[in-house]
Structure 1
Amino acid sequence: MKARLLRIQGRVQGVGYRDWLVGEATAAGLTGWVRNRADGTVEALLAGEEAAVGAVLLAARRGPTAARVDRIEERFAELPEEPGFQRRPTL
């Protein structure tokens, strides 16, 4: 199992990015969460099997149709304690 904390920059708020990522992560069997940040970025914690995390990270680089991902900052993270993949309130 591996976990990555992502900070996604670009046109990622107001374009369905969080709901799209919930669908991608859930379909891949990942746990974690996604939320908007007040600075206009999206933050996400992806946790699961290495191949599944890598596949969702690759998908996150293109995002849904209306989004434009300019940059993703990625770092190692602790595994989440909660089951499933949730959309969290804005931080």
Structure 2
Amino acid sequence: MNILHAHVSGRVQGVYFRGWTRSQAQRLGLSGWVRNLRDGQVEVLAQGDETALRELEKLLWKGPSFSRVDDVAVSTVPDEGPTLEGFHIAPTV
């Protein structure tokens, strides 16, 4: 299973970014989660088809209409854990 781990910065909190990301990920058939970070970023962890993950990465650069994305920092995550079920909004950390 392929994994995308991203930190999105800019005006990404208080603009429905998490809900929008969940909708996009579900539409693409991905599993994982999205959450706000206390430093103002949004963190995304998604599992699924490589093509769908690349599409989600492109979409994260756009965001919902009221957001402003300044950066999407993607890091490599080893695929050592269990397969995630569904895509949900996780609590802020």
TM score, norm. by length of structure 1: 0.94
1:35-74 residue pairs with structure 2 within 5 A?
A: 35-74=35-74
Displacement after TM superposition at 1:2 (Å):
1.0
4+ residue segments displaced more than 4 Å: none
3-state SS in 2 of match to 1:66: coil
Provide the C-alpha distance between the structure 2 equivalents of 1:46 and 1:30, rounded to a whole number of angstroms.
Answer: 6
TM score, norm. by length of structure 2: 0.92
Runs of 5+ in structure 2 lacking a partner?
A: none
The residue number in structure 2 matching 1:15 is 15
AA aligned opposite 2:5: L
The residue number in structure 1 matching 2:91 is 89
3-state SS in 2 of match to 1:43: strand
AA aligned opposite 1:86: H
Runs of 5+ in structure 1 lacking a partner?
A: none
**Deviations 1:5-59 (Å, cap 9, x if unpaired)?**
1000000000000000000000000011000000000000011100000011101
> How many pairs align?
91
Provide the C-alpha distance between the structure 2 equivalents of 1:49 and 1:89, rounded to a whole number of angstroms.
Answer: 25
Provide the C-alpha distance between the structure 2 equivalents of 1:70 and 1:26, rounded to a whole number of angstroms.
Answer: 24
